[in-house]
Amino acid sequence: MKMRTITAVLLALAASTAIASAQDFQIVKVSSITTSPVGELKPKTIFFNDGRADDTTDKGAFTRFDEWSRTKPIQRQFLSLFPNFQEGMIHKIIDGSKKEVKDELQMYITEARFKLSRPAASIDLKSFATLDFIQSIDPQIKHQVIKASETSVMKDEKAMNNKNPDRVWCEGQTVATCTRSTYKLEGKLPIGVALANKLRDSDKKVSDTIEFESEMRILSAPDIDEAGMRKLTGVDTPVASVLEQNMFYVNQVMRFGKLVAVVQPNPAYANSTIATVMIALAVSSSTLDTKKKYQEVPVLRNLVPQQVLLGNSSFNTGTSISSGLPNYVRNRIKAIAALLDTAA
């Protein structure tokens, strides 16, 4: 118990230091992290790509799931909720009749890479798959540890498609922790949500709170597809360890999320480490296609879902999810980089 307390204190101190130093990391936009030479990485620098040419455009931000699967098969293998994940079928009322249609998804994919000034073998990712670590990445999101038996029952069509065919979520030797997370939208977004709900035809209203459940896994050598991981990262050195987060339940907007962090020796300098972090967020196409009815109402013209999700609305605010996915993901990656950089 004493050792556990000491460890918790050390993690808390590291987290507080990392939060301050996260802003020291600079984001450098690249067309692809896998083709950018690792030798060009400088300290406190993060190579970053989210598919967009620049931050002012939405072009390239979202890719339809079927296109992504076809053009990025390695990403699909490792960044889907599970390797054989497919878009599910749901029922909708179309022209007064109930019809079965595909629940089409669009993917927001981010790639990031940074250098750590110590050997890959010295980095113990197990110490980062904890509630303290998760909370320190974004203090605005509140988390609680749950058991596999406490995960949300996936009853509706959309959620049922996220059931893992190979195992129960949050079960297995590789699972380090399982959490239920809550985030209340900030700034003007709750007002925007209230206004948008008045336009909705259905009884199901948009909530001003995002709730999600996820598991953190630590993958060691027996669990890792070594050749596949090297293709994913574009770094041709042995994979030391992998941290994986599977967000298998979300109450709205998104269908699932996945984070994969891969630690490998630096091919240019063996006593340092190359860390690759990739994040995949699956958003409902129906959400992104909801545009016309918002544009027709003057007060809601800046609440078009795609505009809000990309952080290009006057309703966006803060540094967390309410700031838009690009800003949120960048801040999260910077926090992860700082935590890994400051940990001894």
Q: What pLDDT is recorded for position 201? A: 63
Q: What is the dihedral of CA 57, 61, 62, 66, to 10 degrees?
A: 130
Exposure b/e, 283-304, CB count within 10 A at least 16 = b = bbbebbebeeebeeeeebebbb
Give dist(CA 238, CA 229) in Å, integer.
9
**Identity of the residue numbered 98:** K
The stretch 85-95 carries a mean pLDDT of: 86
Q: What pLDDT is recorded for position 169? A: 96
Strands (E), 220-328: 241-250, 254-266, 269-284
Specify the range with the lowest mean pLDDT, choosing from 80-89, 103-112, 215-224. Answer: 215-224
Task: Name the residue with higher pLDDT: 12 or 83.
Answer: 83
Write the pLDDT tens digit of every residue in 243-293.
999 999 999 889 999 999 999 999 999 899 999 999 999 999 988 887 766
Domain hosting 242: range is 2-342
Q: Give the β-pairing of 45-49 and 26-29.
A: parallel
Write the pLDDT tens digit of every residue in 29-62.
999 999 999 999 999 999 999 998 787 778 889 9
Task: Name the residue with higher pLDDT: 290 or 138.
Answer: 138
Residue 304 · residue 291 · CB < 8 Å: yes
Q: How is 160-184 classified by DSSP, letter by letter?
A: HTT--SSS-TT-STTEEEEEEEEEE
Q: Report residue 342 CA to chain centroid gap.
A: 22
Token pair 């809550």 is found at 182
Long-range contacts, 161-166 (Cβ 8 Å, 24+): 161/86, 161/87, 161/88, 161/103, 161/255, 162/81, 162/248, 162/249, 162/255, 162/256, 164/81, 164/82, 164/248, 165/82, 165/84, 166/82
Question: Helices then strands (H, E): number in the chain?
Answer: 11, 12
3-state secondary structure (DSSP) of residue 203 = coil
- Per-residue tokens: 170: 């949050």
- Residue 234: other Cβ atoms inside 10 A: 18
Write the pLDDT tens digit of every residue in 174-221.
999 999 999 999 999 998 888 888 876 666 788 999 999 999 999 987
Helix, strand, coil proportions of the chain in percent (round to 5)? 35, 30, 35
DSSP secondary-structure letter at 22? G
State the chain's mean pLDDT as an integer.
Answer: 88
Q: What pLDDT is recorded for position 203? A: 62
Number of structural domains in the chain: 1
CATH code: domain of residue 290: 3.30.530.20
Q: Residue 7 — very low, low, confident or very high, per pLDDT cuts 50/70/90?
A: very low
- State how far the alpha carbon of 131 is from the alpha carbons of 56, 126, 172, 212, 244, in Å: 35, 12, 18, 15, 14
Give dist(CA 336, CA 333) in Å, integer.
5
- Per-residue tokens: 65: 């799931």
Position 320 pLDDT exceeds 70: yes
Percent of the chain whose pLDDT exceeds 90: 62
Give dist(CA 216, CA 125) in Å, integer.
11
Give dist(CA 17, CA 275) in Å, integer.
20
Percent of the chain whose pLDDT exceeds 70: 91
